[in-house]
Amino acid sequence: MEVRGAGFQIASALDLGPGVSNGCGILATPTGTCASVGLAASQPLSGGICIAIGRSRVVTATDNLTSLHKHEEELRARSLAAIEADAGLSDHWNLVAEAMNAIYAFIHDHLHESENELALQCLGIRLFDAAGASIKLALSGYYQEAFHQVRDVIETSFLVDYLSTYPEKIDEWRRADRKKRMSHFSADFIRKALDKRDGYTSGERKRIYDLISELASHASYIGIVSLMTAGPDNMAQVGPFFDDKKLASWLGEMAIRFSHAAMVLLPPPSGSDIKLLSTQRHYLKVANTWWSKYRGVKHQAVP
């Protein structure tokens, strides 16, 4: 495995103080090679990065952050184009968007009817934010960090599922100190409780949680090789990069995990909030169509 740089540049200032260019800087290009330049005007480099050098140009570290953001936005546009060009990916993308819309309707537009429901809305905010962060990271080419946020979606959705099943536990969870939380509401405890509730013995909940933890959340070599490399030469990438297979893998997993998270978060349909009921009905139809088409199951009845 080799290392390749992308979307970032290093400028050296010779004897003129920090951040001052003397017209002969050494720049690391997005391909990881070095180029000596001695120009007096801005020149574009590969990857769409443009820098200005010369006696009047002050090059600062924050210029790199601007270049990095520009590269991220270019990757975002490329990722969205790849999704739009593929029917399956477009379906996954639409499901994620519909799940976010349904969750937003519950956590923002719906007036909670109890302290228990308010607690679930707060967990819904965490789900919404984790999904938004995962989307931002994946589209911009940070696949490992995007998967890490998927793990957060999974863990939070398990807790929501548990508390929705046993609402008498919500106040206990709210008031728990760290010791109590770790013994009664840890990720492992919650997974085992849900498996017992459902009569599951396959350990699938633990398997997927451990897999994403190993590849994305923990600093492991297999995670670097799996999610931070690209190309036939298995080059490790410095900074964001585009990889159609990693993008598709993330989006497929995100569609499964986040759509289920919305299912368990939304309250039982009732007539007290007509707007939320309408949003739920629409979401369940979309979700059922997707789950039937791509997973071969009908997820939940539409009210």
Local confidence pLDDT in tens for the 303 residues of the chain: 555 654 444 333 323 233 333 332 323 333 333 333 333 333 433 344 444 444 566 879 999 999 999 999 999 999 999 999 999 999 999 999 999 999 999 999 999 999 999 999 999 999 999 999 999 999 999 999 999 999 999 999 999 999 999 999 999 999 999 999 999 999 999 999 999 999 999 999 999 999 999 999 999 999 999 999 998 888 999 999 999 999 999 999 999 999 999 999 999 877 789 999 999 999 999 999 999 999 998 656 555
Are 106 and 265 in contact, with CB atoms under 8 Å apart?
yes
Domain ranges of the chain: 1-59, 73-294
Q: Measured on CA atoms in the order 103, 107, 112, 118, is the torsion positive or negative?
A: positive
Distance CA 285, CA 279 (A): 10
Q: What pTM was estimated for this model as a whole? A: 0.81
Of 157, 165, 240, the C-alpha closest to 198 is 165
Are 291 and 188 in contact, with CB atoms under 8 Å apart?
no
How confident is the model at residue 301, as a pLDDT? 57
Q: Which residues pair with 265 in a beta bridge?
A: none
How confident is the model at residue 8, as a pLDDT? 40
Of 124, 151, 146, the C-alpha closest to 135 is 146
Helix (H, G, I), strand (E, B) or coil at 58: strand
Distance CA 61, CA 18 (A): 9
How confident is the model at residue 199, as a pLDDT? 96
Indicate the residue type of 16. L
Largest Cα–Cα separation, the chain: 73
How confident is the model at residue 104, as a pLDDT? 98
How confident is the model at residue 1, as a pLDDT? 59
Are 92 and 250 in contact, with CB atoms under 8 Å apart?
no
Of 218, 94, 71, 88, the C-alpha closest to 142 is 71
DSSP state of 165: H
Helix (H, G, I), strand (E, B) or coil at 52: coil
Q: How many angstroms separate the Cα of 157 from the Cα of each of 46, 120, 258, 262?
A: 42, 10, 8, 8
Q: How many angstroms separate the Cα of 71 from the Cα of each of 48, 76, 288?
A: 7, 9, 37
